[in-house]
A and B are shown apart, each in its own frame.
Chain A
Amino acid sequence: MIEILPAPWEVILGHARACYPRECCGILLGEVGADGGRRVTIAVACVNAYDGDQADRFELAPADQFEAQRLARREGLEVLGFFHSHPDCDAYFSATDLAHSWPWYSNLVVCVRQGEFDHARAFRANETQTESTPEELICPKS
């Protein structure tokens, strides 16, 4: 389970709208509870570093990830995962997403249609990045 608090949720949706019709991307920071549940308290909006058509591709810059790791350590948090948008496309975990993911991390995919939020889903990749499974997502009503 991954819960996203209202403040980071607004960052995610705002970034997804602002980047439309391109994919946005960013980093989720927060805590892992004793029961394994994850709570996102900070979302870091990042530049899409993909060198090509960003309508259906994204890439996180390593420098942004490095800074996010540093922020997490400073705040006593953990990098829990990442988010990106699918403009005018369902929030599924594509083969491209899976191939370029890492296990353990939560992957939030946000569907934006005509520039507005439509729906979101979360996924995790298995150890060999050959399969993904949906992760229960708790987020504010939008």
Chain B
Amino acid sequence: MPQILIPAPLRQYAAGQSSVEAPGATVAEVLTALTSKYPDLRKHLFNDQGALRSFVNVYVADEDIRYLQKEQTAVSANETLTIVPSIAGGAR
């Protein structure tokens, strides 16, 4: 089953776990299974339209899904998804 690595700010919504297993053959399916198990994660990962929030990046193995098939990127059972927060800012 694919494993999802949870960044520290989101662990409180996943029973304090740093990694979670969830079934699915695509990123969308895995993240849907994840948020079904931990509903409080949903608003932190998805916007009101059900798409990944712009502040959230997802990697499958070593690849950023933005450069693959985005949420439809295929995931095999032994692969790891990493949730990477998007960070920016500045004085202005």
Contact with B along A31-70 (1 / 0, CB 8 A): 0000000000000000000100000111110110110010
Given contacts A79-B8, A102-B9, A102-B55, contact A94 B64 (CB under 8 A): no
Contact with A along B74-92 (1 / 0, CB 8 A): 0000000010111111111
A23 to B5, CA, bound (A): 30
A15 to B57, CA, bound (A): 25
The answer to whether A84 touches B9 (Cβ under 8 A) is no
Is B7 close to A, CB under 8 A? yes
B58 to chain A, nearest CB (A): 9
Contacts of B64 in A (CB 8 A): 62-63, 66
Contacts of B84 in A (CB 8 A): 62, 65-66, 69
Is A82 close to B, CB under 8 A? yes
Q: Which of A62, A73, A94 contacts B57 (CB 8 A)?
A: A62
A31 to B91, CA, bound (A): 28
Contacts of B55 in A (CB 8 A): 100, 102
Q: Which of A56, A66, A78, A80 contacts B59 (CB 8 A)?
A: A66
- Chain B residue with the shortest CB-CB distance to A107: B89
A107 to B90, CA, bound (A): 12
A26 to chain B, nearest CB (A): 10
Q: Which of B7, B89, B90, B91 contacts A79 (CB 8 A)?
A: B7
Given contacts A65-B84, A66-B59, contact A105 B8 (CB under 8 A): yes
- Which A residues form the contact surface with B (CB < 8 A)? 23, 25, 50, 56-60, 62-63, 65-66, 69, 73, 78-80, 82, 84, 86-87, 89, 92, 94, 96-105, 107
Given contacts A57-B90, A66-B59, A102-B7, 19 further A-B contacts (CB under 8 A): A56-B92, A57-B89, A57-B91, A60-B86, A62-B57, A62-B59, A62-B86, A65-B85, A65-B87, A87-B91, A89-B91, A92-B91, A94-B90, A96-B88, A97-B90, A100-B88, A102-B9, A103-B9, A104-B8
